[in-house]
Structure 1
Amino acid sequence: MKRLRSTVPCLLAVAALSLIAAAPQARANEPSNWPDRLIKLVVPFPAGSVTDRIGRVLAQRLETNLKQPVVVENRPGAGATIGSDYVAKSRPDGYTVLLGANASHAVNVAFMKLPYDPVSSFEPISLVAAVPSVLMVNPGVAARNVNELLALAKASSGKLTYTSAGIGTTGHLGMEMLASMAGVQLLHVPAKGPAQALQDVMAGHVDMLIESIALSAPVVKDGRLRGLAITAQQRSPALPELPTLSEAGLPGYELLLWFALYAPAGTPQDIVAKLHAETARIFADPAVRDPLVRDGVTVVAGTPRELADFQRSEIDKFGTLIRKLNLDLKQ
């Protein structure tokens, strides 16, 4: 299979320097009167999700730095398109912004008719963070590592099952990419959200899943599920004992959840610049960055141009993957 990789590792090298450089400039070139009232940060996922957690950290610090209220407004549904469409159609004045993700700005475009254009309907502000996922199995599955799991899959002729948070989610695409790279067949049993997916594997109704490390780490650490590998190119401090899938026998495998800050298209560039500078300043603070890193989150806080380029590469990557695997995501 053609090697499909994101550009996050490249961005990290640039971001490490830009985080330091951006902080002293956070007050430079400020708009003369923005903000002078409440700002809404729309999260197109439910409260309690990884996106929601990062959004609330960002909102709290923006409120302190900008000296205006910043409230998180959860608008989940339809694969994150409801909240994203709301922001796309909002007034481009800097008072409504979006914390988007893979689903809303890269994956959905490959199989959905969206009510917005994920590129032209938004002003990119910053790629905020990326989060790896974990390949996990029920403890009753006779596989203690990736090689044993793949051998079991090859011997079972498509009888091994996996679940995901739903059709077209990162967990679904990640398992299909794994199956394609390994040359095995797996049966997809989609769940209604990540909580049900985890519960179905813990209960033994389904054999395995790939889910974000933020949700996976607690159930791996307490033994309810067996972690086999993570989906990033580097090991995670949240589960340092787990190898990457590349180390475990699938070279080049990488799957990351990512979160990015957007404003409606037409938002003045001085406001975009200030929001980016404040975002970089916030995530350069060890008090913000270090707890996220311990939980497996890779902080990026890249520039608007880096986000625009990265998003286009992700649209191409997921589009190619879906076409190559001939996935039917309209179920």
Structure 2
Amino acid sequence: MHSTSRFIAAALLLAACLSPAAATAQQNYPNKVVRYIITDAAGAGTDVLGRIIAEGLTNLYGQQVIVENKPGAGGNLGADIAAHSPADGYTMLQIATTHAVNATLYKTLGYDLVRDFIPIAQIASGPSIMVVPASSPAKSVSEFVKYAKSKAGELTYASAGSGTCSFLAGELFRRQTGIEMTHIAYKGGPPAVTAVMSGEVSAYFAPLSAVMQQIGQGRLRALGVTSPQRLSFLPEQPTVAESGAPGYQFSCWYGLMVPAKTPPAVVETIHASLLKVLATPAVQKKLTDLGYIAVGDKPEAFAAHIKAQIEAIRPIARDLPQPQ
């Protein structure tokens, strides 16, 4: 059995042994509509992910879990709304790597990612794939690094915007390989994909679902995935590390949180429910088709992950311009 599946199965056994208080909460919660806040626009990859989870919770609860898209301010608008919502379990917030970036990038925020929320679990991780124009002379990561060093300062990498996962993946790659490469920020993923296809930029660390069609059509060349191991659903694609950048790995992550002071019994109920949704074969297939890997960890593990991510991102965020 896959390690993720083993963990989810074990966690489900623990969830079955809930305290009497938690059992009571399960009987009474939820008894009205739950809102599921997503900090991206409808149609974005994170929105699709969130709707899969919200649908799964709806089916499990027999009570509507309604997605509310609250884009704006780099994900801070929706997070601020959730932080100041009643701590009763009827407001859930889906967060991502971007929120850890915001915690280090913004001098002032209307919320504190660690203090104002209780982590439920990491929902999924999303490795990226390094792509270059089909006309690029590089056919592997090692060739790309060699080419970049021969053209010092001439190569560029695209991102969907400063502070996004595509930026972090590219910047980490630049730093670890020691190459000179200029960051070009675009307003979202689609323009970045177009730019690398046209040869306007030299590389892009893209979400898998955003470029697999173009790779298959020969309009982009894939050099490697950013996960630590090859992906089970894309076994022929090497990792960036094995293709020429030893030790490199990067994945975006996505998780679920609720406002601080939400009753522990309700937190237990939501956590157990999320694990059940993630263990559903249909949900796992949907996530895999989108390039995500289901996680479903414990609240304390997710809390530790968030804190570690904030500290890991801090040195990179220092080099970013302060948002206005």
TM-score, normalised by the number of residues in structure 2? 0.92
TM-superposed CA distance for 1:293, in Å, is 2.5
Which amino acid in structure 2 is aligned with residue 18 of structure 1? A
Q: Give per-residue Cα distances to partners, 1:182-210, cap 9 Å, x unaligned.
A: 11100111100111111111122222111
Instruction: Judge conservation of contact 2:127–2:250 (CA < 8 Å) in 1.
Output: yes
Q: CA, structure 1 residues 176+188, in 2 after alignment: closer, same or farther (shift >3 Å)?
A: same
Q: SS state of the match for residue 282, structure 2?
A: helix
5+ residue gaps in structure 2? none
TM-superposed CA distance for 1:222, in Å, is 2.1
TM-superposed CA distance for 1:238, in Å, is 4.0
Match of 1:18 in 2: 10
Instruction: Judge conservation of contact 1:26–1:277 (CA < 8 Å) in 2.
Output: no
Write the distance in 2 (CA, Å) between the matches of 1:219 and 1:329: 34
Q: Give per-residue Cα distances to partners, 1:119-155, cap 9 Å, x unaligned.
A: 0110111111101001100111111111111111001
Instruction: Judge conservation of contact 1:132–1:256 (CA < 8 Å) in 2.
Output: yes
Match of 2:220 among 217, 225, 234: 225
Instruction: Judge conservation of contact 2:141–2:245 (CA < 8 Å) in 1.
Output: no
Which amino acid in structure 2 is aligned with residue 175 of structure 1? G
1:110 aligned onto 2:104: yes
User: For the aligned residues, what is the CA RMSD?
Assistant: 2.1
Q: Give per-residue Cα distances to partners, 1:1-53, cap 9 Å, x unaligned.
A: xxxxxxxxxx9487344355257558962415221111110010122222111
Match of 2:130 in 1: 135
Q: CA, structure 1 residues 13+327, in 2 after alignment: closer, same or farther (shift >3 Å)?
A: farther
Q: CA, structure 1 residues 77+26, in 2 after alignment: closer, same or farther (shift >3 Å)?
A: farther
Write the distance in 2 (CA, Å) between the matches of 1:207 and 1:244: 19
1:315 aligned onto 2:298: no
Q: SS state of the match for residue 187, structure 2?
A: coil
Q: CA, structure 1 residues 20+97, in 2 after alignment: closer, same or farther (shift >3 Å)?
A: closer
Instruction: Judge conservation of contact 2:105–2:320 (CA < 8 Å) in 1.
Output: no
Match of 1:5 in 2: none
Q: Give per-residue Cα distances to partners, 1:251-292, cap 9 Å, x unaligned.
A: 221111111000111111111110100000111111211332
TM-score, normalised by the number of residues in structure 1? 0.90
Match of 2:142 among 119, 139, 147: 147
Write the distance in 2 (CA, Å) between the matches of 1:170 and 1:79: 12
Match of 1:176 among 166, 171, 174: 171
1:189 aligned onto 2:181: no
Instruction: Judge conservation of contact 1:59–1:72 (CA < 8 Å) in 2.
Output: yes
Match of 2:245 in 1: 250
1:37 aligned onto 2:29: no
TM-superposed CA distance for 1:177, in Å, is 1.1
Match of 2:202 in 1: 207
Match of 1:287 in 2: 282
Which amino acid in structure 1 is aligned with residue 105 of structure 2? F
Q: CA, structure 1 residues 41+210, in 2 after alignment: closer, same or farther (shift >3 Å)?
A: same
Write the distance in 2 (CA, Å) between the matches of 1:119 and 1:310: 11
Instruction: Judge conservation of contact 1:153–1:184 (CA < 8 Å) in 2.
Output: yes
Write the distance in 1 (CA, Å) between the matches of 2:165 and 2:104: 13
